[in-house]
Amino acid sequence: MRILDRLTSILDAVVDQSEPATPASVARRVDLPLPTVSRLMRQLAKARFLEADERTNIFLLGSRILELGYAARPTRMVGSIVPEMERIRDATGETVSLHVRSDDKRVCVAEVQSFNSVRRVVPVGLIVPLHFGATGQVLLAALSPAALAGYVRAHVKDASAARTLVTIVETVRSRGWAMAVDSWVEGLSGLAVPVSDGEQIVASLAISGPSTRWTPEAMQRRLDVVLAGARAATQRLSGRTSEIDATPRPRLQKQDRQSGEQTGE
């Protein structure tokens, strides 16, 4: 069996197993020697195609798989929402990004950058824990109370921080948007709103920029525009675009599109 065949068979085995994947369990499935499988799985983990828990010797799919998958596949969601993201970018002057939940993380699947020379950069494929920032708070707010409690127990060990996060998410759920300033990246602020397909929240639409410019006051002034864009994106997903396409599109002057400092992680 060639090396590529071995690697793909190992990845397939990790995906197909109903129980946690270990080198021993994968070796039995792919009919290869345990030392060979163990070595290849650690190489895959080093390249981020797998994620290893050193304590339990359990392997999961790694972040690189998600990055490649979301970066490569065109989706109806992205194609439908990017025009509204551009409208929001033009109205706010800030970078607009679209994020979806993947288990306990969020993944950026689309970005429309600000024209400002100093701007937020959100790479497509960026993977971040759900409870980081306003973007993730919107996705957490879509969880059931039981699922939210389970996430908090697993990822927020400090009791006070856990209570604070639950309170924030409940507020986001009730008012329909989230706002954060310097929450997990110093110098960055974000405003996020949900995008739905039918009755289900499927994505978080985030507008982010430098805290010195994208202040709480600036975000509040643009909140109606952002919420309207999210509603239009939801309508696009459902196929009702006739009224949306007639909406006037405000424009901001493009500033130094190619040069200048960029902010982001």
43 and 101 assigned to the same domain: no
Amino acid at 229: G
* Residue 214 predicted with pLDDT over 70: yes
Domain boundary among 36, 61, 86: 61
- Cα–Cα distance, 152 to 77 (Å, whole number): 28
For residues 13-35, average pLDDT = 89
Clarify whether residues 93 and 125 are in a common domain.
yes
- The whole-number pLDDT of residue 76 equals 65
Q: Does the pLDDT value for residue 197 go beyond 90?
A: no
Confidence band of 264 (pLDDT split at 50, 70, 90): very low
- Same structural domain, 120 and 250: yes
Same-domain check for residues 11 and 116: no
25 with 120, same domain: the answer is no
Q: Is the pLDDT of residue 64 over 90?
A: no
Q: Are strands 127-129 and 105-112 parallel, antiparallel or unpaired?
A: antiparallel
Residue 67: per-residue pLDDT: 62
Instruction: Give the model's confidence band at 178: pLDDT under 50 very low, under 70 low, under 90 confident, else very high.
Output: very high
In sign, the C-alpha dihedral spanning 66, 71, 75, 79 is: positive
> In this predicted structure, what is the pLDDT of residue 97?
95
Q: On the CB side of 241, how many CA atoms lie within 13 Å of its CA? A: 11
Q: Which domain holds residue 259?
A: 74-264
19: left (phi over 0), alpha (psi -120 to 50) or beta: beta
> What pTM, to 2 d.p., does this model score?
0.67
Do 118 and 151 have their domain in common?
yes
Choose one of 29, 61, 93: the last residue of a domain.
Answer: 61
